[in-house]
Structure 1
Amino acid sequence: MTQVTVTYLQQLNPAEVISSSKSLPEDARIELAQEITPEFSRFLYQSVGSELNWADRLDSTREQWEEVLRRPGSETWVLYQQGAPKGYVELVTEVVEAGSEVEIFYFGLFPEATGRGLGGVLLSEALRQAWTLGSRWTQLPAVSRVWLHTCSLDGPAALPNYQARGLKIYRTEVEETDVKDASTGLWPAAAR
């Protein structure tokens, strides 16, 4: 077991979004994955999370994965550069008394895309899309909060990026976690 610090951050108003000072390179775009499949979602999850110990969804069945993707207010936005995926954000919405709360369920870059300033641009767009989700999902109440959590196992730029985009810490917890190797199954072992 490993001791992990979990940090919860939120925004309560779209005016709190602080956009990245950088812009996307000309050969990059961020696009909503319409009708995303569980297979593509899992590919994104594993490609980003294999080095960050993201293993919590690896035991999910295709049906469980599909259920999350098809919830009203669930969206996946993909960052492409030169035609290839380089990162993504998954938004999941829950309706509460105060309105719709959008969780940035998963967010990250492929390992080869880190350190290029793309994370701030992707997060800025993710926050904009989270706050305007009601314009695309008119059956849901207005968005009242956007939130996420990160932990000490995530990359060193994660928490500073979240705070630089205007997300504010509202809770931290320390927990014991059984850290699994998230790269297991990503690449088959070479035949001997």
Structure 2
Amino acid sequence: MELYLNGVNFTGKIPESFNHQTSLLDLVMSSSNISGHILKPLWNLTNIEVLDLHNNHLEGPISQFLRFGKLREFSLRNNNFDVQLEYLPFNRSWTQLETLDFSSNFLTGPIPSDVSGLQNLQSLSLSSNHLNGTIPSWIFSLPSLFDLDFSDNHFSGKIQEFKSQTLFSISVKQNQFEGPILKSFLN
């Protein structure tokens, strides 16, 4: 079952009725004016594959979403999440994940090493947060990664040369990188 509620003005929390939608595979509630912590109305959605809650006023721990082991697409873009990204054990749960968009939140810390376990990841967007540290070289060798957006953060240091047959789009603007433009970017 798929449920698309884009632009529905809920004004408040996610309705308790979602607690009974255990067969739901796709849930899109973008721009729906939902707010607060995401609690039990979603926790029984154990079969969910697409979860898009972007452009709302949600907050709280992202770690609760790790219970959704079948996720392929996941977007929390443009909300109020303010956790340290480094403490999320990505590779234990989201092994099927293809698209991850946590951009435009208030996430802090470095990129977790567990992201390297997301072998099916095609699109990763962490732009417009407060992430820092360096971009690990293994990020460019994820076998399916097609699109990468780390723009508008606090990353620093040098970006290592990389060889990727799949990367098509890379955005790292508005950070504090140093060094010459890499040949990798020109290929």
Normalising by structure 1, we get a TM-score of 0.26
Point out the structure with the larger strand share: 1
**Whose RCO is larger (CA < 8 A, sep 6+)?**
1
Q: TM-score, length-normalised on structure 2?
A: 0.27
